[in-house]
Homo-oligomer: A and B are copies of this chain.
Amino acid sequence: RSKVTVTAIPGDGIGPEVMRATQQVLAAADAQVEWEEALAGAEAFRRGIASGAPRETLDSIARTGVALKGPLETPVGHGEKSANVALRKTFEMYGNVRPVRELPGIRTPFSGRGIDFVVVRENVEDVYAGIEHMQTPGVAQCLKIITEVGCERILRLAAAVAEAEGRRKVTVATKANIMKLTEGMLKRVGEQVLAEYPSLSNEHMIVDNCAHQMVIRPEQFDVAVMTNMNGDILSDLAAGLVGGLGVAPSANLGDGVAMFEAVHGSAPQIAGKGIANPTALLLSALMMLRHVGDFATARRIEHALYVTLEEGRDLTGDIAREAEGVPTQQFVDRVIANL
């Protein structure tokens, strides 16, 4: 098997630590990956790069078509835009895929209910277009933009995810009762597009009710697709149901390009201490391995990780069942031992 080259963006805060941990596990499992390390985030902003991602980083992603990314800080107060959003936009990665699955050993108020669904969030339109103005003092406006092209491709991605994973139902969650043209567009296009997938049932749900249902009866969901801002909120909610952002992977998908990232922050308070939990980035790396077709290695690492979580020894402080957590390296060693 030939090696796949992947752009590795360690990012800020705990980013470099969880990236190193993830790379160690992949290497131990003999994943055929070659890393091309690239800069983005705080250091790039410090160098005056307004997008937070230098030319070389963009070139690397364009070349490899696959990136693994840690958290990126966005400086506040000087009109800087999010480096995360800039990367998504630059490569038109229109789909944000966030699996929400109960993990062994991670106890939550919902444990044992078998939560297992995927949030598919539109990733480049909506209020994220970044068009705001304030002609009249004291009155600010932001444009929410939704296109048919954007709706169709995110719906087809949701259907593809459902089919690939043998899922049966796609829930289209919108606020079409208030925004008939914009949110209503996802609903309407959803009815047309999803009708083309006879193996999938589909339903529409008002997005506030969807948030409510995710808390009340999360087992009912299979694949849920949403516009960008609603998806931003509901995917974070959903991650909370199964243990939080520390164990939540994600993928940003475009045509011919994919970026896998942990959705947690850079956690500056614990950065450099060697105690960060690399699980979210490791799970993101497993999505990446499957994306490049290496299902076997992904399954092997997943198994080792699940055993480690289940055993419950050698876990980092945020998920440890005893009072004290172990260093990142001890957790990594345990996962590797369980390979």
A interface with B by C-beta (< 8 Å): 74, 76, 79, 82, 85, 109-110, 127-128, 130, 132-134, 137-149, 175, 177-185, 207-209, 211-216, 229-230, 232-237, 239-241, 244-245
B229–A244 contact, CB under 8 A? no
Q: Within 8 Å CB of A149, what residues of B?
A: 138
Given contacts A109-B109, A209-B236, A214-B237, 5 further A-B contacts (CB under 8 A): A79-B180, A141-B143, A141-B181, A208-B236, A215-B241
Jot down 30 A-B pairs with beta carbons below 8 A, ordered by A. A79-B180, A82-B177, A82-B178, A109-B110, A127-B175, A128-B178, A132-B179, A132-B181, A138-B147, A138-B148, A138-B149, A139-B145, A140-B146, A140-B181, A140-B182, A140-B184, A140-B185, A141-B143, A141-B144, A142-B181, A143-B144, A208-B233, A208-B236, A209-B236, A212-B244, A215-B215, A229-B229, A230-B233, A233-B234, A237-B237
Residue of B nearest to A129 (CB): B141
Question: Top 10 closest A-B pairs, CB basis?
Answer: A215-B240, A109-B109, A138-B148, A140-B181, A212-B236, A208-B236, A132-B181, A142-B144, A211-B237, A142-B182
Q: Within 8 Å CB of A141, what residues of B?
A: 143-146, 181-182
- The complex places the Cα of A147 from the Cα of B133 at a distance, in Å, of 12
Smallest Cβ distance from A67 to chain B, in angstroms? 21
B240–A216 contact, CB under 8 A? yes
Known: A211-B237, A245-B212. A178 touches B139 (CB 8 A): no
B240–A211 contact, CB under 8 A? yes
B177–A74 contact, CB under 8 A? yes
Report which of B85, B109, B134, B236 forms a contact with A211, defined as CB distance below 8 A: B236
Known: A110-B109, A233-B230, A237-B237. A140 touches B145 (CB 8 A): yes
- The complex places the Cα of A184 from the Cα of B140 at a distance, in Å, of 10
Residue of B nearest to A235 (CB): B208
Q: Within 8 Å CB of A179, what residues of B?
A: 127, 132, 142
- The complex places the Cα of A148 from the Cα of B179 at a distance, in Å, of 23
Known: A144-B127, A175-B229, A236-B212. A133 touches B74 (CB 8 A): no
A178–B130 contact, CB under 8 A? yes
A208–B232 contact, CB under 8 A? yes
Report which of B109, B137, B182 forms a contact with A132, defined as CB distance below 8 A: B182
Q: Within 8 Å CB of A214, what residues of B?
A: 237, 240
Residue of B nearest to A243 (CB): B216
Q: Within 8 Å CB of A184, what residues of B?
A: 140
Report which of B127, B133, B143, B211 forms a contact with A178, defined as CB distance below 8 A: B127
